[in-house]
Chain A
Amino acid sequence: MNAPLILDRRRVLAGGGALIVSFSLTSAFAQDQAPAATPPSKPPGSLAATAYLDSWIRIDADGSITVFTGKAELGQGFRTAFQQIAAEELDLPFESLKVITADTKLTANEGYTAGSRSMQDSGTAIQNAAAQVRELLVAEAAKRLDLPAENLRTENGAVISPDGRRLSYGELVAADMLHVQAQPKSRLKDPATLKVMGQPVRRVDIPAKVTGGGVYVQDMRLPGMVHARVVRPPSYGAQLTECDSSAVEKLAGVVKVVRDGNFLAVVAEKEFQSIKAMNALSSAAKWKESASLPKQDDLLNVLMHLPSQDSTIFQRSDPSVSRGKTIEAIYTRPYQLHGSVGPSCAVAQLVDDAMTVWTHTQGVYPDRQAIAEMLRVPPASVRLIHVEGSGCYGHNGADDAAADAALIARALPGRPVRVQWMREQEHAWEPFGPAMVTKLKASLDSNGKIADWHFDVWSNTHSMRPGGAGSMLAAQHMAQPFAVPAPRPLPLPEGGGDRNAIPIYTFPNAQVVHHFIPAMPLRISALRALGAYHNVFSIESFMDELAGLADADPVEFRLKHLEDQRGRAVIEKAALGFEWKSGQKAPQDRGFGFAFARYKNLAAYCAVASEVEVNRETGRPRLVRAVAAVDSGQVVNPDGLINQIEGAIVQSMSWTLYESVTFDDTRITSIDWQTYPILRFDAVPESIEVHIIDRPGQPFLGSGETGQGPTAASIANAIANATGKRLRNLPLTRKRIKEAIDA
């Protein structure tokens, strides 16, 4: 299979037989405009917004069952987890189910696949929908068999009576049976009896990925497809002053040069022809650039002096507590990249005024809205289908590539157009994770406990996702451009720049101030964990500084300030796994570090203990081993969870030790892996251990981002432990460590 299977609504409705239930897309569409009036008590997860059960689960007459999620598989493996959940609640064999992911024609509008919310939103919806569907089927069987529902059980896709009579789900389902609104409460499986959930079921997507299956949008080959490359401006705001494309148009294979204002692209029959043409077009294009970027090595002052909107997001006071020794510190984080290994890609095709875009966006519905706006057509004439791309870790170039493809496909009606970004384009143009500054100040009381705590964070927003057309490059570059939408701080409790800014610890006096900076000198948006990465790095580094001041063991010091029992359990588990001992000394040239956070203060808990070796002569740090503990509520797939946390630790280690976007006064200069180095195999730790605390029956807590902050602080604390020097500016590079040692 070269192209992913494309389902459409007509085929869904026409296929299979008469018993196919009608599909409740109307409610999904309605979601786009105005949220449905919320019922008195809402069903859980995404069922609250998309309440029809058949938006989530479809049963065909032949008994085949399809699960729909509005979320996109980004490599986290939740397609498998959803399949486990549905199989469990429906009493079906795992293999008998199929999961369809984000597609504006088929699935519910679940907004973005972001914020580690997929399990909470979609997983919960599927779990409850499946349980309720099962109940409906049992009720139908009870009616047909004339038996009380309590006497019936379900097994292997059928309802079974005490005397052994069997009615399969396929037989039971009837038109519209599932086209009912979900109830606020479902009768879920007793956690003690789970068979599929909680098992390390192997991921369904991996076999194709390790055998060269056509998995990714990059692998799509539609009949008649052409290859496009975009020529991006050399810098933000550059104006195309001159571009004689006549020579390029004559090159072998070139189909068309597309120009719309500052948007420039070339289309060719074959891929390498399009690259050659892109190079030629790029030489022909003359741009007027302006120096608009801030000073890269003075980000601290740049950020602290941009106008900001300040709000106190947390305040507590207890004047009776005395204050003794006080310390303060400033921590900074640079702009950082998503840096997907596969640059962004999209395929688009315009047929009879209907635009279809295959994309690895994280939000098919919002992106559809934005593309429709850019093309100045009604959203209903645009369909977005999610197809996997390379791992994205937030808002990378995916949406932009989708917009590029749509704009170019509009110029070539009928032909599928594949746009593949080049490495340099991905590095220079993806929206970066924002730079941040935090300032902390705290005092100890006479018992060595924290008496008061001040935390200030300066940051941009952490999401410039589409929204309107103006958030996409192509729309910004068109002759009639769309303005970049005004940035807004993301609201608490999740927050953006202030995500995890409020300490989870209990301090008698505390104040947290968010300095939201509307001006965005560099293009930024959501990067895994958003502000939590830096806020947790800051808080957890400072906790160690305070523990040092109090002459206390870092783990004990944390426990002393933490009331949350699940948090305490996670800390204790990680400490135990690491064999952390109070007052221990690391081997020569090594240091131990510890850190903890609950992501967003409402999602998964994670603690990381690490051992870092520092070469005294060169300053080179090496993460030797890391031990993590995580509580993400009820665990659906333990191996998937471990995989996520391992990945988070490794990725965060790379961010923390190496990574920063570089730029001069005009251009981004970190445009490939030479200039934006990331972790390579020589620096991979010797071991990473992840311990899970399972909480059967508890809600799913998103875990995809919970490891980023604790890893960073744990490494910084270990470096401080090894060298006696505290590094507060990310990344903690070899040079900075060496300077600190030599100072």
Chain B
Amino acid sequence: MMTLKVNGREHQVDADPDTPLLYVLRDDIKLNAAKFGCGLGQCGSCAVIVDGKAILSCITPMVLLEGKQVTTLEGLGSVSEPAPIQRAFIEEQAAQCGYCIPGMMMRAQALLLKNSKPTDAEIRAALEQHLCRCGTHMRILRAVRRAARLMEAADASSTTNRSAQ
């Protein structure tokens, strides 16, 4: 039994310490956003945020997560209350099949947390590990830029702390 903190909640999970986080999120905690794409660290579909940084959950064994905070796309917002990054992707219609999108969003979210005004080159560099086969790239780039603006606006207009870090 291990304790895993996901989206602000503690979960007791029965998994070997060498189990990659991805399977614990999907199988034990029953979250959908982190996707299996390769299991090899080559595609980015499985990205989630751990302590503010985007990591590939398919190659991150549970042993590394002791005491850390995991955030998945579900933890950012919901259909009724979307987070800025989610609004941005909806407003830009930045998906075709959408399978790659959660990983892209988590990477972008992590980037925007530490760099609220990334240049285009910085966004591309951050997303370099992420594959999209539908060719949604132009829209993804636009959505990340829009998210930066939305987050800035949200920061400016609110003094409350956001929990989803």
Contacts of B42 in A (CB 8 A): 423, 672-674
Q: In the complex, are the beta carbons of A76 and B37 less than 8 A apart?
A: no
Q: Does A74 contact B (CB under 8 A)?
A: yes
Q: Does B154 contact A (CB under 8 A)?
A: no
Contacts of A644 in B (CB 8 A): 96
Q: Does A393 contact B (CB under 8 A)?
A: yes
Q: Given A391, A422, A688, which contacts B96 in the complex, CB threshold below 8 Å?
A: A391
Contacts of A183 in B (CB 8 A): none
A673-B131 CB under 8 A given contacts A210-B89, A218-B36: yes
Q: Does B113 contact A (CB under 8 A)?
A: no
Q: In the complex, are the beta carbons of A684 and B138 less than 8 A apart?
A: yes
Selected interface stretch from A10-18, A237-245, A335-343: A335-343
Contacts of B15 in A (CB 8 A): 272
Contacts of A202 in B (CB 8 A): 90, 93
Q: Does B162 contact A (CB under 8 A)?
A: no
- Using a CB-CB cutoff of 8 Å, which residues 170-220 of chain A contact chain B? 202-203, 205-216, 218-219
Q: Please name the residue on chain A nearest to B124 by beta carbon.
A: A681
Q: In the complex, are the beta carbons of A210 and B133 less than 8 A apart?
A: no
Q: In the complex, are the beta carbons of B128 and A391 less than 8 A apart?
A: no
- Using a CB-CB cutoff of 8 Å, which residues 71-102 of chain B contact chain A? 72-74, 76-79, 82, 86, 89-90, 93, 95-102
Q: In the complex, are the beta carbons of A215 and B32 less than 8 A apart?
A: yes
Q: Please name the residue on chain B nearest to A269 by beta carbon.
A: B27
Binary contact track A314-339/B, C-beta < 8 Å → 1, others 0: 00000000000000000000000011
Q: In the complex, are the beta carbons of A212 and B97 less than 8 A apart?
A: no
* Least CB distance, B160 to chain A, in whole angstroms: 21
Binary contact track A84-97/B, C-beta < 8 Å → 1, others 0: 00000000000000
Q: Does B127 contact A (CB under 8 A)?
A: yes
Q: Given A342, A646, A647, which contacts B45 in the complex, CB threshold below 8 Å?
A: A342
A703 CA to B15 CA, complexed, in Å = 47
Q: Given A214, A342, A654, A685, which contacts B36 in the complex, CB threshold below 8 Å?
A: A342
Q: Please name the residue on chain A nearest to B34 by beta carbon.
A: A212
**Interface range, B side:** 35 or more
Q: Please name the residue on chain B nearest to A650 by beta carbon.
A: B135
Contacts of B141 in A (CB 8 A): 681, 684
Q: Does B136 contact A (CB under 8 A)?
A: yes
Which of A210, A648, A649, A650 gathers most chain B CB within 10 Å?
Answer: A210
Binary contact track B62-78/A, C-beta < 8 Å → 1, others 0: 00000000001110111
A684-B78 CB under 8 A given contacts A209-B95, A639-B93: no
Q: Does B38 contact A (CB under 8 A)?
A: yes
Q: In the complex, are the beta carbons of A210 and B82 less than 8 A apart?
A: yes
Q: In the complex, are the beta carbons of A272 and B124 less than 8 A apart?
A: no
Q: Does B39 contact A (CB under 8 A)?
A: yes
Contacts of B89 in A (CB 8 A): 206, 210
Contacts of B125 in A (CB 8 A): 681-682
Q: In the complex, are the beta carbons of B102 and A423 less than 8 A apart?
A: no
Binary contact track A647-688/B, C-beta < 8 Å → 1, others 0: 111110010000000000000000011100011111011011
Q: In the complex, are the beta carbons of B133 and A340 less than 8 A apart?
A: yes
Contacts of B26 in A (CB 8 A): 271
Q: Please name the residue on chain A nearest to B28 by beta carbon.
A: A270
* Least CB distance, A199 to chain B, in whole angstroms: 13
Which of A2, A227, A271, A272 gathers most chain B CB within 10 Å?
Answer: A272
Q: In the complex, are the beta carbons of A643 and B99 less than 8 A apart?
A: no
* Least CB distance, A427 to chain B, in whole angstroms: 9
Q: In the complex, are the beta carbons of B27 and A212 less than 8 A apart?
A: no
Q: In the complex, are the beta carbons of A680 and B131 less than 8 A apart?
A: yes
A684 CA to B45 CA, complexed, in Å = 18
A281 CA to B30 CA, complexed, in Å = 27
Q: In the complex, are the beta carbons of A211 and B77 less than 8 A apart?
A: yes
Q: Does A54 contact B (CB under 8 A)?
A: no
Interface of A is mostly: loop
Q: Given B19, B86, B96, B138, which contacts A210 in the complex, CB threshold below 8 Å?
A: B86
Q: In the complex, are the beta carbons of A205 and B98 less than 8 A apart?
A: yes
A219 CA to B131 CA, complexed, in Å = 20
Q: Given A74, A77, A213, A221, which contacts B30 in the complex, CB threshold below 8 Å?
A: A221
Interface of B is mostly: loop
A218 CA to B99 CA, complexed, in Å = 10
Q: Please name the residue on chain B nearest to A337 by beta carbon.
A: B133
Q: Does A420 contact B (CB under 8 A)?
A: yes
Q: Given B74, B76, B98, B137, which contacts A206 in the complex, CB threshold below 8 Å?
A: B98
Q: Does A27 contact B (CB under 8 A)?
A: no
- Using a CB-CB cutoff of 8 Å, which residues 94-152 of chain B contact chain A? 95-102, 105, 124-125, 127-139, 141
A196 CA to B132 CA, complexed, in Å = 30
Q: In the complex, are the beta carbons of A271 and B32 less than 8 A apart?
A: no
Q: In the complex, are the beta carbons of B127 and A681 less than 8 A apart?
A: yes
* Least CB distance, B145 to chain A, in whole angstroms: 13
Which of A338, A342, A388, A678 gathers most chain B CB within 10 Å?
Answer: A342
Q: In the complex, are the beta carbons of A678 and B40 less than 8 A apart?
A: no
* Least CB distance, A322 to chain B, in whole angstroms: 45
* Least CB distance, B95 to chain A, in whole angstroms: 5
Binary contact track A247-284/B, C-beta < 8 Å → 1, others 0: 00000000000000000000000111001000000000
Q: Does A467 contact B (CB under 8 A)?
A: no
Q: Please name the residue on chain B nearest to A342 by beta carbon.
A: B99
Contacts of A682 in B (CB 8 A): 124-125, 128
Q: In the complex, are the beta carbons of A423 and B40 less than 8 A apart?
A: yes
Q: In the complex, are the beta carbons of A272 and B93 less than 8 A apart?
A: no
A680 CA to B124 CA, complexed, in Å = 9
A648 CA to B130 CA, complexed, in Å = 18
Q: Does B31 contact A (CB under 8 A)?
A: yes
Q: In the complex, are the beta carbons of A393 and B133 less than 8 A apart?
A: yes
Q: Does A390 contact B (CB under 8 A)?
A: yes
A341-B135 CB under 8 A given contacts A218-B36, A270-B23: no
A219-B38 CB under 8 A given contacts A210-B82, A271-B26: no
Contacts of A205 in B (CB 8 A): 95, 98
Q: In the complex, are the beta carbons of A211 and B131 less than 8 A apart?
A: no
Q: Please name the residue on chain A nearest to B135 by beta carbon.
A: A650
A340 CA to B124 CA, complexed, in Å = 21
Q: Given B30, B39, B45, B98, which contacts A2 in the complex, CB threshold below 8 Å?
A: B30
Q: Does A75 contact B (CB under 8 A)?
A: yes
A680 CA to B138 CA, complexed, in Å = 12
Q: In the complex, are the beta carbons of B86 and A342 less than 8 A apart?
A: no
A681 CA to B128 CA, complexed, in Å = 5
Q: Please name the residue on chain B nearest to A639 by beta carbon.
A: B93
A420-B36 CB under 8 A given contacts A206-B89, A341-B131: yes
* Least CB distance, B70 to chain A, in whole angstroms: 13
Q: In the complex, are the beta carbons of B124 and A643 less than 8 A apart?
A: no
Contacts of B37 in A (CB 8 A): 341-343, 423
Contacts of B20 in A (CB 8 A): 272
* Least CB distance, B96 to chain A, in whole angstroms: 4
* Least CB distance, A142 to chain B, in whole angstroms: 41
A687 CA to B142 CA, complexed, in Å = 11
* Least CB distance, B23 to chain A, in whole angstroms: 4
Residues of chain A whose beta carbon lies under 8 Å from any beta carbon of chain B = 2, 74-77, 202-203, 205-216, 218-219, 221, 227, 270-272, 275, 338-343, 388-393, 420, 422-423, 639, 643-644, 646-651, 654, 672-674, 678-682, 684-685, 687-688
Given contacts A341-B97, A422-B39, 5 further A-B contacts (CB under 8 A): A210-B82, A639-B93, A678-B131, A682-B125, A685-B138
23 residue pairs A–B, Cβ–Cβ below 8 Å: A75-B97, A206-B89, A206-B90, A208-B79, A212-B32, A214-B32, A227-B27, A340-B133, A341-B133, A388-B97, A389-B97, A393-B133, A422-B39, A423-B37, A423-B38, A423-B43, A646-B135, A650-B135, A650-B136, A654-B135, A674-B42, A681-B127, A682-B124
Q: Closest 9 interchain pairs by CB? A: A75-B97, A650-B135, A391-B97, A212-B33, A209-B98, A647-B135, A390-B99, A212-B74, A423-B38
